[in-house]
Each structure stands twice: as structure tokens, then as C-alpha cells.
């Protein structure tokens, strides 16, 4: 697991209270499968930063 993926997963933990369990699992799985850019884009879209 690359350092970028570990950082993203730890960043996901910050949003445990505001995101559903399913969304967190989906984004985590997406990052672990290699689509880190897609996972980051999805997180930004859900949080309304985009």
C-alpha cells in the first residue's frame, strides 16, 4: 500500500461522523483498488468542495 493511499484512508477517518458507513467503504475500496484520483474526487463531491 502506497503512502498516498494510507494518507487518504486516514483522511477518511476524519469524516466518520458525517459520511455513511457505506460511502466510507466505497471510497476506501476505490483507493485500495488503485483509483485514488477517483476516490479523492468522490470525497470532494460528497463534501461539496467541488
Q: By the 8 A CB rule, do 43 and 35 touch?
A: no
Percent of the chain with pLDDT over 90: 92
User: What pLDDT is attached to residue 35?
Assistant: 96
The CA distances from residue 23 to 6, 9, 45, in Å, are 17, 13, 12
Query: Mean per-residue pLDDT for 24-45?
Result: 96
Rounded mean pLDDT of the chain?
A: 94
Q: CA angle at residue 13 from 10 to 18, to 5 degrees?
A: 150
Q: By the 8 A CB rule, do 15 and 24 touch?
A: yes
User: What pLDDT is attached to residue 50?
Assistant: 56
Amino acid at each position: 500500500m502506497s503512502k498516498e493511499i494510507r494518507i487518504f484512508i486516514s483522511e477518511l477517518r476524519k469524516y466518520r461522523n458525517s459520511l455513511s458507513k457505506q460511502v466510507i467503504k466505497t471510497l476506501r475500496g476505490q483507493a485500495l483498488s488503485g483509483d485514488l484520483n477517483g476516490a479523492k474526487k468522490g470525497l470532494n463531491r460528497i463534501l461539496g468542495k467541488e
